[in-house]
């Protein structure tokens, strides 16, 4: 039997986390200090109670924790981390007097950012707050007009017109959900875009965001939200020149907010289902007395009601095993993960040559235009497509209702990838299954990889051989057609057409889909 072992974290504050498992789901009426307007908004979202991670964060922030410490959350996929930070932030900002950018939530991808924005939009208006996004979904000009406004002129009607002309535009949202690239565009180019008053910084999918520098967005944000200028450290001094201006002066550490009634320190919340423990990565965040909230004995945990299965099949039969499995799943919503964009494209092209399959499927990868991806995702959410063939661009954070199965067509290379892929199902306490197709030589590595996660039982699964045998004739025709398609796409690419396959994959003599 596998005895969970605790790997000792390098950072002392990570060694004894606050155990999320000790919290029970709590009905909204029993949540201390929760604003009734937010309770009503949550009710409209069909949310009647807070999940354990949400309650744990709530107690450390709004009541009675008082945002004393920066918060790091490591809890499984689908456990409700988005609302865990959205709710305390919205409640804390509900008493704000002047509209300016107070909360910044950074996510690694546009789809994820838009999903998180929806959660904020469901609760923030209830307390008069506005939410914006900087994700590159629209042109920068459209984004600027949604985010920035000139202060209303009547506020300055008594002012000299020349003076009025000097009035800076300002941010017209309280909460901004952003991807790093677009955030940096606004920081460097958008007049009036300011992080000066920021009170909350959320770094969701932290390990992913810290892995890539994304134009140094993090040091830039931290620099813009801290003031080391000692001369400015006196609120109400002559440095405040404009009638509407709020001059925010912060200090970090224990000095924050005491002397001279200065602005509170920037409160940080970082989250992931696979939070990094790497001190050098975490140090970039300049956390203040951080507290770790975590579920489980091991670093990684799979959702409670996830069932894992492995299917062992020969390389050449993998597409057939997949089709047979999908046929058996009878039109249930599935995501099929492959290891690369080429593999995703090849597999969906091959499936399209199978003719009559009893499920609708579509390709979803980073090589497609955003508009195509958004359309596909919408169709998948609405059930017009039941099977999404995707790359790991889909693994993190995406929350699509009704996904009951995840299929790893290609075995993930890391346990973190397995966790995030599998986590697209069995969300919010629901059941789900994760199937991994393995070649014989991969089994040992796969088993030892799964050992790194808690609740890692994996059952052997087979598909009926008669389904596979029945598919063999159509498979050989489909392979021929795939070969032709690969060649024609390679030729198109050579003569200036769009990208489809890498040179490496297109130059292979035998076109396969393994």
Ligand X SMILES: Nc1ncnc2c1ncn2[C@@H]1O[C@H](COP(=O)(O)OP(=O)(O)OP(=O)(O)O)[C@@H](O)[C@H]1O
Contacts to ligand X by CB under 6 A:
47, 49-51, 54, 77-83, 273, 397, 399, 423, 427-428
- Least spacing, CB of residue 177 vs ligand X, in Å: 13
Comparing CB distances to ligand X, the nearer of 77 and 433 is 77
Cα angle vertex 281, ends 276, 284, to 5°? 130
- Least spacing, CB of residue 325 vs ligand X, in Å: 23
d(CA 394, CA 409): 14
Comparing CB distances to ligand X, the nearer of 82 and 368 is 82
Helix axes 36-44, 81-93, angle to 10 degrees: 140
Comparing CB distances to ligand X, the nearer of 81 and 299 is 81
Q: Using CA atoms in the order 196, 184, 111, 104, what is the torsion angle rounded to 10 degrees?
A: -10
Contacts (Cβ under 8 Å, ≥6 apart) of 86 = 116, 119, 120, 123
d(CA 120, CA 71): 19
- Least spacing, CB of residue 74 vs ligand X, in Å: 10
d(CA 71, CA 270): 6
Closest CA to 271 of 339, 190, 361, 206: 206
Comparing CB distances to ligand X, the nearer of 249 and 275 is 275
- Least spacing, CB of residue 106 vs ligand X, in Å: 14
Comparing CB distances to ligand X, the nearer of 193 and 380 is 380
Comparing CB distances to ligand X, the nearer of 83 and 513 is 83
| 203 in Cβ contact with 268 (< 8 Å) | yes
- Least spacing, CB of residue 388 vs ligand X, in Å: 16
d(CA 56, CA 22): 9
Pairing of strands 175-178, 131-134: parallel
- Least spacing, CB of residue 420 vs ligand X, in Å: 7
Comparing CB distances to ligand X, the nearer of 80 and 412 is 80
d(CA 59, CA 24): 13
Retrieve residue 390's tokens: 């995707």
| 145 in Cβ contact with 193 (< 8 Å) | no
d(CA 398, CA 248): 36
Contacts (Cβ under 8 Å, ≥6 apart) of 153 = 164
- Least spacing, CB of residue 75 vs ligand X, in Å: 6
Q: Is 291 helix (H, G, I), strand (E, B) or coil?
A: strand
Comparing CB distances to ligand X, the nearer of 123 and 438 is 123
Comparing CB distances to ligand X, the nearer of 243 and 429 is 429
Long-range Cβ pairs for the range 440-449 (8 Å, 24+): 440/312, 442/411, 443/310, 443/312, 445/411, 446/310, 446/411, 449/412, 449/414, 449/415, 449/418
Comparing CB distances to ligand X, the nearer of 126 and 347 is 126
Contacts (Cβ under 8 Å, ≥6 apart) of 187 = 193, 195, 220, 221, 224
Comparing CB distances to ligand X, the nearer of 273 and 394 is 273
- Least spacing, CB of residue 45 vs ligand X, in Å: 7
| 128 in Cβ contact with 38 (< 8 Å) | no
- Least spacing, CB of residue 471 vs ligand X, in Å: 34
Comparing CB distances to ligand X, the nearer of 137 and 425 is 425
- Least spacing, CB of residue 30 vs ligand X, in Å: 13
Q: DSSP per residue over 57-104, as a string?
A: HHHHHTTTTTT-S-EEEE--TTS-HHHHHHHHHHHHHTT-SS----EE
- Least spacing, CB of residue 235 vs ligand X, in Å: 37
Q: Which secondary-structure segment (H or E) carries 312?
A: strand 306-312
CA atoms within 13 A on the CB side of 492: 11
Comparing CB distances to ligand X, the nearer of 43 and 497 is 43
- Least spacing, CB of residue 342 vs ligand X, in Å: 26
Determine the longest span between alpha carbons in the chain, in angstroms.
85
d(CA 220, CA 234): 24
Please name every residue paired with 334 in a beta bridge, in sequence order, or none if there are none.
387, 405
- Least spacing, CB of residue 473 vs ligand X, in Å: 41
């Amino acid at each position: 039997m596998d005895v969970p072992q605790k790997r000792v974290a390098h950072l002392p504050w990570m060694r004894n986390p606050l155990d999320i498992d000790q919290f029970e789901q709590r009905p909204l009426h029993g949540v201390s200090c929760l604003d009734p307007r937010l309770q009503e908004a949550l009710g409209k979202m069909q949310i009647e109670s807070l999940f354990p991670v949400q309650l744990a964060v709530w107690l450390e922030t709004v009541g009675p924790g008082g945002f004393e410490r920066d918060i790091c959350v490591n809890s499984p996929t689908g456990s409700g981390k988005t609302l865990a930070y959205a709710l305390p932030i919205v409640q804390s900002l509900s008493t704000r007097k002047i509209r300016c950018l107070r909360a910044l939530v950074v996510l690694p991808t546009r789809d994820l950012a838009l999903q998180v924005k929806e959660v904020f939009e469901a609760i923030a208006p209830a307390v008069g707050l506005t939410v914006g996004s900087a994700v590159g979904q629209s042109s920068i000009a459209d984004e600027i007009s949604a985010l920035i406004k000139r202060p209303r002129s009547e506020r300055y009607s008594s002012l000299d017109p020349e003076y009025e002309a000097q009035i800076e535009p300002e941010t017209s949202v309280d909460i901004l959900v952003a991807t790093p690239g677009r955030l940096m565009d606004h920081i460097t180019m958008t007049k009036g875009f300011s992080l000066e008053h920021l009170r909350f910084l959320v770094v969701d999918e932290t390990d992913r965001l810290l892995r890539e520098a994304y134009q140094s967005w993090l040091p830039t944000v931290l620099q813009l939200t801290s003031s080391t200028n000692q001369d400015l450290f006196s609120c109400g001094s002559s440095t405040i020149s404009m009638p509407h201006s709020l001059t925010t002066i912060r200090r970090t550490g224990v000095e924050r907010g005491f002397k001279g009634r200065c602005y509170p320190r920037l409160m940080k919340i970082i989250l992931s289902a696979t939070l990094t423990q790497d001190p050098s990565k975490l140090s970039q965040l300049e956390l203040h007395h951080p507290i770790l909230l975590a579920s489980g004995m091991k670093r990684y945990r799979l959702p409670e009601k996830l069932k894992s299965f492995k299917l062992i099949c020969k390389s050449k039969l993998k597409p057939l095993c997949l089709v047979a499995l999908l046929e058996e799943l009878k039109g249930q919503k599935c995501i099929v993960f492959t290891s690369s964009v080429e593999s995703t494209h090849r597999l969906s092209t091959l499936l399209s040559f199978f003719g009559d399959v009893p499920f609708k499927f579509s390709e979803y990868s980073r090589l497609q235009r955003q508009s195509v991806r958004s359309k596909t995702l919408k169709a998948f959410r609405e059930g017009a497509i039941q099977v999404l063939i995707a790359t790991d661009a889909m693994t993190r954070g995406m929350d699509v209702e009704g996904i009951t199965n995840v299929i790893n067509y290609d075995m993930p290379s890391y346990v973190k990838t397995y966790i995030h892929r599998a986590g697209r199902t069995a969300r919010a306490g629901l059941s789900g299954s994760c199937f991994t197709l393995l070649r014989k030589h991969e089994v040992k590595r796969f088993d030892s990889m799964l050992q790194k996660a808690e609740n890692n039982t994996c059952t052997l699964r087979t598909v009926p051989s008669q389904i596979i045998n029945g598919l063999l004739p159509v498979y050989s025709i489909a392979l021929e057609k795939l070969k032709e398609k690969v060649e024609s796409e390679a030729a198109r690419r050579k003569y200036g057409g769009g990208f489809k396959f890498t040179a490496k994959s297109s130059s292979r003599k035998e076109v396969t889909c393994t």
